[in-house]
Copies of this chain bind each other. A is one copy, B any other.
């Protein structure tokens, strides 16, 4: 049975709580901020709100699962209780939120109908495959199985990045300089945070102690989720705001 030091146990505990707070704070912000952007961009913010609400719910569950999986034992260490720490919450969360994150981005671009054709469907299917293929590896105990499913999951991941790169690049040409900078930044954030997930996934393969790998996985996924959902949503808001300003659709009297 795995034993964690008090510091290791509480690092995960506090990072999970931080994530819950971030998601619910972001939820309130996205919901309220809809009235601060033009009508055309409000669906993107609404989807941002849905994403962080779903993630906040799952982090409540993950937090609970964590506190039941370990218990304080003699000497101030935390011992595995035998109750399973449920990794599936993350995958269920991603199954719902990752397609929505992609739709959020496409929505804020407010592409013409002809450019959007089939885009949602292609991205949603690829996102689904990416997550579904990762899961068998996540719960596998041997590293070869983990590596094989991880590699399979990378195929749709690369496909998504390829499609988005092209679409974002194309969309960027038509924007004001301010919006272009924001789109460039969100593209970087997307690459950086989405690229962080596979690194976290691979942690157990690096031959580090199992304790460090348990803690590292939880902290890595949580920080990635905060950046890829809450902070990403804030960037979507900035883009929506800048585009509203550019096309004159800001609510009357709200420009500075």
Contacts and interface: CB of A to CB of B under 8 A. Distances in A.
Given A33-B46, A34-B32, A256-B111, A17 B249 contact: no
A113 B256 contact: yes
Contact of A82 (B57, B72, B82): B72
A196 interface: no
Contacts of A58: 21
Nearest to A31: B32
B256 A39 contact: no
Interface in A58-83: 58, 61, 72, 82-83
A14 B58 CA distance: 11
Contact of A24 (B36, B54, B61): B54
A21 B253 contact: no
B96 A40 contact: no
Contact of A29 (B18, B42, B47): B47
Contacts of A40: 253-256
Contact of A92 (B6, B17, B33, B112): B17
A33 B40 CA distance: 12
A49 B28 contact: yes
A84 interface: yes
A198 interface: no
A254 B240 CA distance: 13
B54 A25 contact: yes
A14 B93 CA distance: 11
Contacts of A253: 38-40, 249
A121 B103 CA distance: 29
Interface of A: 6, 10, 13-14, 17-18, 20-22, 24-25, 28-29, 31-36, 38-40, 42-43, 46-47, 49-50, 53-54, 57-58, 61, 72, 82-84, 86, 88-89, 92-93, 95-96, 110-113, 116, 249, 251-256
